Amino acid sequence: MRILHTSDWHLGQSFYGKSRAAEHRAFLDWLLVQIGQLEVDVLLVVGDIFDTGTPPSYARSLYNRFVVALQQTGCQLVILGGNHDSVATLNESRELLACLNTQVVAGPAPVQTRVLTLRDRQGQPRALLCAVPYLRPRDLLLSEAGESAQDKQMALQQALSSTYLALYQEAALQQAAHLAASGRRLPIVATGHLTLVGASRSESVRDLYIGTLDALPLSVLPEFDYLALGHIHRPQQVGGRDTVRYCGAPLAMSFDELEQVKQVLLLDWAQDAPLAIRPLPVPVWQPMARLSGDVAALCSQLADLSVPAGQRLWLDLEVTEQGYLGDLQARIEQVCSRLPVEVLLLRRVRAPDPLWQGPATETLSELTPQEVFARRLAQEASLAAEAQAGRRQRLTDHFTQVLQELEDPAQETME
């Protein structure tokens, strides 16, 4: 039994005003090739198929074209709703897609209908799936007047835990029945589009709160044979468990994700063998880069860029330079006009203050005016020599006198 775990396609996304239609088309074509070559039995898409609840027509077209093309591979498709997805949008084609070996679980449904049987290409049952989409607070419980924030958080956590437990218990009953009938144990897989405690996020991940609950402890969930997660774009294990994984988004959703190797996860259950998990690296179709430094350093880095032939590099430029730079935009545009690049983001970042020599957690309110002035003097090269000690002392005395006059204006009047 081979399952391919993926999530967070975000079809229809606009990246700083740039369409990603070509990238998404290339990814879906690549995914079809992998499924065919690796003889994948089931494809799980764990939420955020679309970037918005009202995706543009070309995004819907990509989605529909992929579902139709997938049928040629014999692979079963399971679509779960995410927080970016509209339940109504996904459900509008659910019955039609059911005729194409595709099951859509967009929102809450009875327990029995959310325990799905996953079959291999020969139609034989090979696993059970507890299909859990993104669940909104109204899907779980009714808010009661007078509840504290902590009470609501605990109630939501308990409701989510109960939801997973009920599905697990139903799957366990089906598992036992199948084992008695065939002698074969079916592994139990579950999905979730949520944030688990300990998951590492990135800039592009929208903070996901289920009511007041921002993250769910793994300890409140049953121990599934595999928990396929979506929503977090950074691929990772959670809680040190190899079988609890975010596959991550297949495309970089923000510039801070450029260091990540994007992937989908291939799950392989061989007869009487433990689960084997293999990441499949996703190619990069749109080159991007994030450069940082002062203007001179940026110009040098831009001049040294290597861009694949026929492509344009999307850039995030971070300028770390003090002082006024009224011609910054013009200078950057002049350099970039000769290169196959597009600057999507140009940011000024204040350079670290050289006066600040205290601990990183120290704040200005913790320092006296005399301490601030002393640190400022220490930065003056003209006052660094030992021969200037007398001048430093005179400046310090004058500063102290000014402080005293500010603190006691009546004394200044008398003088």
Six-digit token pair at 277? 């998990």
Q: What is the pLDDT of residue 296?
A: 81
pLDDT at 247 (0 to 100): 95
Cβ contact 131:189 at 8 Å: no
What's the mean pLDDT in 185-189? 94
Structure confidence at residue 259 as a pLDDT band (50, 70, 90): confident
Picking from 80, 60, 72, 63, the residue whose alpha carbon sits closest to that of residue 101 is 72
DSSP letter string, 267-311: EE--TT---EEEEEEPPPSS-EEEEEE-HHHHHHHHHT----TT-
In this prediction, residue 212 carries a pLDDT of 46
188 — pLDDT class (breaks 50, 70, 90): very high
% of the chain surpassing 90 pLDDT:
49
* Neighbour-count burial for 287-296, b at 16+ CB within 10 Å, e otherwise: bbbbbeeebe
Rounded to the nearest 5 degrees, what angle is found at the Cα of 270, between the Cα atoms of 28 and 268?
25
The answer, yes or no, to whether residue 415 has pLDDT greater than 50, is no
Please give the average per-residue pLDDT across 103-132, as a whole number: 91
Identify the pLDDT of residue 322. Answer: 63
Which structural domains are found in the chain, ordered by start?
A: 2-281 (3.60.21.10), 288-348 (3.30.160.720), 364-414 (no CATH)
Lookup result for tokens 């997973």: 164
Structure-token pair, residue 151:
């009470």
Which pLDDT score is estimated for 362? 56
Tokens of residue 347, six digits: 């940011």
CA dist 69 and 104 (Å) reads: 17
Q: pLDDT tens digits, residue range 349-371? A: 765 555 555 555 555 666 778 77
